[in-house]
Amino acid sequence: MNVKIIGVALYIMLIYGISKHYPAMHGLFFPAIGAFSFLFISRPFTAKAMSSISAGAVLASVVGTLIYHLIPGIFALFVNTLIIIWLNRAKWNAPPILAVSLIPFFTVTPRIWDIPLAVAVSLAGLTAVLLAAEFVHMRLPAFFRGGSKLAPGSEEAAG
């Protein structure tokens, strides 16, 4: 049993439930949260690396939101994609970052800051869950030794 996988599944279920029952929290659940979850449990990441990728995602959501509101039409999508790919020179190596920059193009929110805030809160929660899962895994090593391999060496990284 891999505690990080269980933690991620419970976290995704929780934010989905919150987003369905509280309309003001609708933005907490977005498809790329699953991609970030898989990315974080399938490779060995430190808290610093997860925070850096999360910051890149928040920055991308801010850029995407601003471009969507400033440039009318489909050209905004083109400009957004170019900018986010260019920003990836920071070596985040995280494709979901581009995905979160596209959220404003298919989600309507009443306030311009809703999407970046939701991305920040969701990814902060995901990072906290994974750090807590790591803590639990270190405290109960015998119980959490089984589980399937996500990628070579991922058992050590994920659990």
User: Which runs of consecutive H residues, i.e. helices, occur in the chain?
Assistant: 3-21, 32-42, 47-70, 75-87, 96-101, 114-139, 154-158
pLDDT digits (tens, 9 = 90+) for 104-124: 998 888 889 999 999 999 999
pLDDT digits (tens, 9 = 90+) for 25-54: 888 888 899 999 999 998 877 888 888 899
Q: What is the CA radius of gyration of the chain?
A: 17
- Number of helices (H) and strands (E), helices first, in the chain? 7, 0
Model confidence at 149, pLDDT cuts 50, 70, 90, reads: low
On whether the pTM is more than 0.85, the answer is no
The pLDDT of residue 55 is above 80: yes
Q: Averaged over 66-73, what is the pLDDT?
A: 91
**Residues shown for the chain:** 159
